[in-house]
């Protein structure tokens, strides 16, 4: 193994660059596509409140745990688990959890890139005004036609992977940091532009009520667990992305401050995207609970019916594509940095070969909507199986591993030594440790027990 020392390892230029890159990883399809539709399905306000609680009590402590694991070890998940674990508390066996994270990153990017490709295609379709005319059913049908066409969906998956590979190929500061510095501010500008549009639209008040007026009779136990599970996905937890980004943190950066900033921006984007989308949905008198097709079927129909629809739809899908791209970059970085650190592989070669392998593996997901649509092991397509297994099992399990590792597998003094100079002090440290040791693992056990059917919760 060759583990770069702190001096030779590439680092972010400072805390701000790290926060931008980590926000880039966190803010993605999870915020703009998934959060609004699950909020719609679970009835709005009360679900949002529970989600905020999950982010604060489970998401943020694990985010901090991943950051500190990365910064302390100056290594990716495998090296980090191996080097930090106390010998009498599992020792090197912990690195198995690191390998699991690398595999999760590989598999997650293979289908994330397919959806990322759709957003690129939809941004281009909007530029060419393809949603400007046509009946609602014609516009809706465009999604099935696009995702069901093996050639075009392979092309968009390829475009998404080529750009992702290009950024990771260029390295931490010249590639990832630069992409985050350019794309994230643009992303926020587009989001504010869409929010501005929403405030001037009739459905805005109704959307605000829907999102922020809790009605607890709409909340189900299944909704609570969905909120908890989503807090992992949305903060990019449980598969080493934050560990590797944390490992590029200079020692003098603030961990608490960065974690709070990342949690804040990620939540801000999810809530704003929800408000924008529901404003448009309500202004057209539609129901909010249409599910996963909300972004690719409902939104284009709505854009076709409103003034400046093509412009808004271009802004919306470009924003989604940027968000997906900066998340895809962090997924590829987990896999690439593993081969660079553990096998001394050249970064360029690693980015090209592993990115290429993910592209080819991803074809199974691309074709799940066309040539392989009838191939359904375990009752779902390959794409469906991967999405289900990774989002519901692998990320919570990975998060559980990090929480137990940071809470119990490493000596407490090691953490205190790493965090004592942070100006939040000893009380914040104790609070973090308690949440990481007790609250987060218990919450994850609840999710997993629910999945195994011990707690059969109605939807």
Helix (H) or strand (E) holding 258: helix 255-283
Q: For ligand PFF, which is the closer residue by CB, 219 or 273?
A: 273
Residue with Cβ nearer ligand PFF (26 or 340): 26
- Nearer to ligand PFF by Cβ, of 235 and 301: the residue is 235
Q: Exposed/middle/buried for 425, CB within 10 Å: 0-12, 13-18, 19+? A: exposed
Considering the complex, state which of residue 204 and residue 245 has its C-beta at the smaller distance from ligand PFF. 245
Residue (108 or 301) nearer to ligand PFF, CB: 108
Q: Who's near 266: CB < 8 A, 6+ residues apart? A: 23, 26, 27, 31, 55, 234, 235
To ligand PFF, the closest distance from the beta carbon of 78 in angstroms equals: 15
CB of 237 to ligand PFF, least distance (A): 7
Q: How far is the CB of 149 from ligand PFF (least distance, A)?
A: 25
- Say how far apart CA 50 and CA 46 lie, in whole Å: 6
Burial of 200 (0-12, 13-18, 19+ CB in 10 A): exposed
CB 62 within 8 A of CB 246: no
Residue 90 or 328 with smaller CB distance to ligand PFF? 328
Quick one: 26 or 443, whose CB is closer to ligand PFF? Answer: 26
CB-side exposure of 120: number of CA atoms within 13 Å? Answer: 21
Residue 52 near residue 231, CB atoms below 8 Å: no
User: Can you give the binding site for ligand PFF, defined by CB under 6 A?
Assistant: 25-26, 28-31, 233-234, 236, 239, 241, 327, 330-331
CB of 445 to ligand PFF, least distance (A): 21
Q: The tokens of 419 are what?
A: 């965090």
Nearer to ligand PFF, 12 or 232 (CB): 232
Please name the residue ranges forming H helices in 284-308.
Answer: 298-305
Question: Measured from the CB of residue 102, what is the shortest distance to ligand PFF in angstroms?
Answer: 11
Of residues 348, 249, 294, the one with CA closest to residue 40? 294
Q: Least distance from C-beta 179 to ligand PFF, angstroms? A: 14
Distance CA 405, CA 203 (A): 47
Shortest approach of ligand PFF to residue 326 CB, angstroms? 9
User: Residue 31 or 298: which CB sits closer to ligand PFF?
Assistant: 31
Rg (CA), the chain: 21
Pick from 399, 328, 323: nearest CA to 64: 399
> How many CB atoms are closer than 10 A to CB 196?
11
Closest distance of CB 87 from ligand PFF, Å: 29
Instruction: Select the residue whose beta carbon is closest to ligand PFF and give its number.
Output: 30
Closest approach, Cβ 165 to ligand PFF, in A, equals 16
As measured in angstroms, the least distance from the Cβ of 30 to ligand PFF is: 2
Q: Do 113 and 164 contact (CB within 8 A), yes or no?
A: yes
Residue whose CB is less far from ligand PFF, 142 or 241: 241
| Cα separation values, 158 from 5, 106, 113, 361, 454, Å | 35, 16, 8, 12, 41
Alpha helices in 344-439, H assignment, sequence order: 347-366, 382-388, 395-404, 412-419, 425-434
Residues with Cβ within 8 Å of 140's Cβ and at least 6 positions away in sequence, in order, are 293, 297, 300, 301
């Amino acid at each position: 193994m060759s583990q770069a020392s702190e001096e030779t390892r590439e680092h972010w230029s400072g805390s701000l660059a790290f926060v931008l890159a980590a926000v880039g990883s966190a803010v993605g399809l999870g915020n703009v596509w998934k959060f609004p539709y699950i909020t719609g399905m679970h009835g709005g306000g009360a679900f949002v409140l529970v989600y905020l609680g999950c982010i604060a009590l489970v998401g943020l402590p694990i985010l901090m745990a991943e950051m500190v694991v990365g910064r302390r070890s100056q290594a990716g998940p495998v090296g980090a688990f191996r080097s930090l674990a106390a010998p009498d508390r599992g020792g090197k066996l912990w690195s198995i959890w690191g390998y699991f994270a690398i595999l999760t990153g590989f598999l997650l990017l293979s289908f994330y890139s397919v959806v990322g490709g759709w957003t690129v295609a939809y941004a281009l379709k909007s530029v060419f005004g393809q949603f400007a005319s046509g009946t609602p059913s014609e516009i809706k049908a465009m999604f099935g036609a696009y995702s069901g066409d093996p050639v075009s969906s392979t092309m968009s998956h390829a475009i998404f992977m080529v750009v992702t590979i290009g950024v990771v190929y260029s390295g931490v500061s010249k590639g990832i940091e630069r992409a985050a510095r350019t794309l994230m501010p643009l992303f926020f500008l587009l989001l504010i532009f869409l929010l501005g549009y929403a405030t001037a639209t009739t459905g805005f008040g109704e959307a605000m009520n829907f999102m922020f007026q809790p009605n607890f009779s709409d909340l189900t136990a299944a909704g609570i667990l969905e909120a908890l599970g989503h807090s992992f996905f949305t903060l990019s937890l449980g598969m080493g992305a934050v560990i590797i980004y944390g490992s590029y943190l200079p020692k003098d950066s603030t961990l608490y401050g960065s974690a709070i900033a990342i949690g804040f921006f990620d939540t801000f984007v999810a809530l704003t995207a929800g408000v924008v989308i529901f404003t448009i949905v309500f202004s057209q008198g539609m129901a909010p609970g249409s599910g996963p097709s909300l972004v690719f079927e409902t939104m284009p129909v709505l854009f076709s019916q409103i003034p400046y629809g093509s412009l808004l739809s271009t802004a919306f899908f470009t924003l989604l594509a940027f968000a997906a791209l900066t998340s895809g970059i962090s997924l590829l970085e987990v896999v690439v940095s593993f081969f660079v650190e553990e096998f001394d592989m050249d970064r360029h070669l690693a980015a090209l070969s592993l990115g290429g392998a993910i592209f080819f593996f991803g074809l199974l997901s691309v074709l799940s909507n066309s040539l392989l649509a009838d191939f359904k092991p375990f009752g779902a397509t390959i794409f469906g199986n991967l999405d289900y297994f990774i989002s519901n099992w692998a990320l919570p399990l990975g998060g559980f591993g990090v929480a137990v590792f940071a809470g119990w597998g490493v000596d407490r003094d090691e953490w205190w030594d790493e965090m004592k100079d942070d100006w939040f002090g000893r009380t914040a440290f104790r609070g973090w440790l308690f949440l990481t040791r007790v609250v987060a693992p218990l919450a994850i056990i609840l999710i997993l027990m629910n999945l195994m059917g011990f707690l059969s919760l109605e939807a």
